[in-house]
Amino acid sequence: MKKMKRTCLIFAICIISFSWVNAQEQHDRFQKIEAAKVAYITKELALTPDEAQRFFPVYNQYEKELREIFRRKRFENEKNGNPKPRPKRGELEYDTDVLNLRKQYNKRFSVILDESRASRYFEVEREFREQLFNQLRKRRDKTNSKNDQ
């Protein structure tokens, strides 16, 4: 009985350790992606150091509010137990929330940047996301082709 308890304890410690390491790796990956995104935005919008210093706190708040919308959407999907997410509120209502948030922050970005660069931010954000997805797809395809050999 003691041996079984010890084995279970060791097993539990291993699982917890693995989970912590995995969470740390995910956090590190997220930080690297976020740093690359900041560099890309800075370059593409040609931000001066002064503009960057004023822009990124507003950008961080925008990202926080955007993540909250997606978190609410995901939570509602999980709460409903739907394998294929279908929120109670409806897809269009979440899209409306995102659009309203973008409009609000476009105005706030315009105070810091000129109007054209403030509007361009959303294009730059989409371009970065597309490049990231393409890189991930290439890595996955490369991995899959190695596994097929």
DSSP track, the chain: -HHHHHHHHHHHHHHHHHHHHHHHHHHHHHHHHHHHHHHHHHHHTT--HHHHHHHHHHHHHHHHHHHHHHHHHHHHHHHHT-SS---SS-HHHHHHHHHHHHHHHHHHHHHHS-HHHHHHHHHHHHHHHHHHHHHHHHHHHHHHHHHH-
- For residue 30, the model assigns a pLDDT of 81
Number of domains in the chain: 1
Note whether 32 and 116 are within 8 A (CB).
no
- For residue 53, the model assigns a pLDDT of 96
Asked if residue 7 belongs to a domain, the reply is: no
The residue segments making up the domain with residue 90 are 30-148
Mean pLDDT, 10 residues at a time, the chain of 149 residues: 62 59 73 91 95 96 95 74 57 91 96 94 95 89 73
Asked if residue 135 belongs to a domain, the reply is: yes
- For residue 75, the model assigns a pLDDT of 79
Asked if residue 134 belongs to a domain, the reply is: yes
Asked if residue 4 belongs to a domain, the reply is: no
- For residue 87, the model assigns a pLDDT of 43
Asked if residue 82 belongs to a domain, the reply is: yes
Asked if residue 3 belongs to a domain, the reply is: no
Asked if residue 11 belongs to a domain, the reply is: no
Asked if residue 106 belongs to a domain, the reply is: yes
